[in-house]
Amino acid sequence: MDTGCSLQGSCCFCIFVRFPAPGKVKTRLAAGVGPAAACAFYRACASYTIQLVCRHSSAHVAIYYSSGDKEADILEWVASLGLQPTKLRSQSTDPCLGVKIRLALEQELAVPGVTKALVLGSDIPGLTKAVLEAAVDALDTHEVVLGPAVDGGFYLLGTRGPQVEPSLFEGIEWSTSSVLEKVLQKATAAGLRVAPLNTLPVLQDIDTLDDLRAWKDTQGTEEVAAMKSHAAEISSSRDCLLKTVEQVISQT
């Protein structure tokens, strides 16, 4: 569904989300903090991500929600953030994450004027405007850019059109510590120019209570400084995220 935005720019961010309902999101985190607290964290983190990306220059934004979610619920959630001008799309029903990512990239690169497409997760509290800008800029001179995650996966994958290299998403055991390495190997084998891995920082995605504690303990001054350039709406959403993390951890 297109909720009425005027598409501008040549870049599209595809944010993968689930509707924040207790027991349906962050189930591994819920094992340590309970379903309600895990849901509260995910809602705060995903809302921050959506705010951050939607207010990033004139890039297109497409929110890809889980095929098991109701579009009306996602629309109401996004509207509650004051962000009606965005696209909502259902993720592929294929159970393979690689297929979901590939199809999302292909769909957005098929939009007239879009030459760069980037998929990112919604459970990365360390994401900043500077990270988004660096990823987009990297695609000026490279065909693939990856945001490395602490667990050996990636929190962002971007590619330049007009075509998506399908082999990047084939024969990979997803949700394992070798995902990033395998994607890099496949990109190299396909002859693609990949941005150096240090182009984007290594960030923590949050799956467990240990992940959440590790992120809270390692927030650095650089990340805090990066927040100063954010709009007031983003800063408010960020504050909500930080308070939620404090509350979730304090309950354990």
Q: 133 in a domain, yes or no?
A: yes
Give 191-218 pLDDT, tens digit per residue.
999 999 999 999 999 999 999 999 988 8
Q: 4 in a domain, yes or no?
A: no
Name the residue range of residue 34's domain: 11-246
Whether 25 contacts 42, CB under 8 Å: yes
Give 80-106 pLDDT, tens digit per residue.
988 865 789 999 999 999 999 999 999
Instruction: Render the burial of 163-183: b for 16+ CB within 10 Å, e for the rest.
Output: ebbeebbeebeeeeeebbebb
Mean pLDDT score across all residues of the chain? 89
Q: What is the pTM of this model?
A: 0.90
Q: 40 in a domain, yes or no?
A: yes
If one counts the domains in the chain, the total is 1
Contacts of 55 (CB under 8 A, 6+ apart): 231, 233, 234
Q: 6 in a domain, yes or no?
A: no
Q: 47 in a domain, yes or no?
A: yes
Q: 201 in a domain, yes or no?
A: yes
Q: CATH number, domain at 69?
A: 3.90.550.10
Q: 1 in a domain, yes or no?
A: no
